[in-house]
Amino acid sequence: MGIIRDIVHDDGGLGWLNGRFDSVSLFQGSMDITIYGDTDEYIGYAEKCIAHYNRLDKDPGLMADIREKLAKFMYYMRDEWEAMGIYDDIAEDTEKAVKEYESGGDILKHLKAPCLNIEISDEDSDEIGYEIVADCPWEPEHQCSVIIRGDKLKYVGPCEGNTPWDDDDEYYCIWNDEQ
């Protein structure tokens, strides 16, 4: 038996699989997974991605990078929501997250309902790549996306359909330019 359990085919007939696995890295406990394919090859690749994901917390540099990029994204979105002045509840929830983070809290605790998304590269490659999608208070409309390819953080920002296999220029985020 594999490390993915409760595997079911998606309801939309797209050939995807949905399931769960035990997360011991960024998030603790049972975590959802979506695999954009339904063959044994996809399942085997997904299990390699899970193994990689479950070791992320053993890489302090990568973990610090994830937290730093999440914070930049959070600060940028806080300023944007406040400037709009029309979403007071989002601005208030984001400000709570900012205050907790600035008081030494872990920004990861503000990410909820995480899901690991797995898509195999079109190129013939054994390289690992996946997306972690989660709800967050500073981007409730599009969720938060964290994309890992190999041992590198490629993207932290709103979930906009990016994959681990995009060109680097597709990962541009204005908040990474700000100091």
On the question of pLDDT at 37 being above 70, the answer is: yes
Q: Which domain holds residue 59?
A: 5-176
Q: Is the pLDDT of residue 36 over 70?
A: yes
Residue 170 CA to residue 175 CA, distance in Å, equals 14
Average pLDDT, the chain: 91
Structural domain count of the chain? 1
Which pLDDT does position 178 carry in this prediction? 63
39 to 27, 36, 111, 156: CA distances (angstroms): 27, 10, 30, 29
Amino acid at the residue 100: E
- Calculate the CA dihedral of residues 2, 30, 135, 9 and round it to 10 degrees: 40
DSSP string, 97-146: HHHHHHTT--GGGG-EEEEEEE---SSS----EEEEEEE-TT-TTT-EEE
Task: Write out pLDDT tens, residues 156-176.
Answer: 999 999 999 999 999 988 888
**Residue type at 165 in one-letter notation:** W
What is the percent of the chain where pLDDT is above 70?
Answer: 97
Rounded to whole angstroms, the Cα distance separating 84 from 74 reads 15
Within the chain, where are the H helices?
A: 40-53, 60-84, 88-102
Tens digits of per-residue pLDDT, 39-53?
A: 889 999 999 999 999
pLDDT at site 49: 96
Q: Dump pLDDT digits (tens) for 91-123.
A: 888 889 999 999 999 999 999 999 999 998 877
Q: How confident is residue 12, by pLDDT bands cut at 50, 70 and 90?
A: confident
pLDDT of residue 9: 86
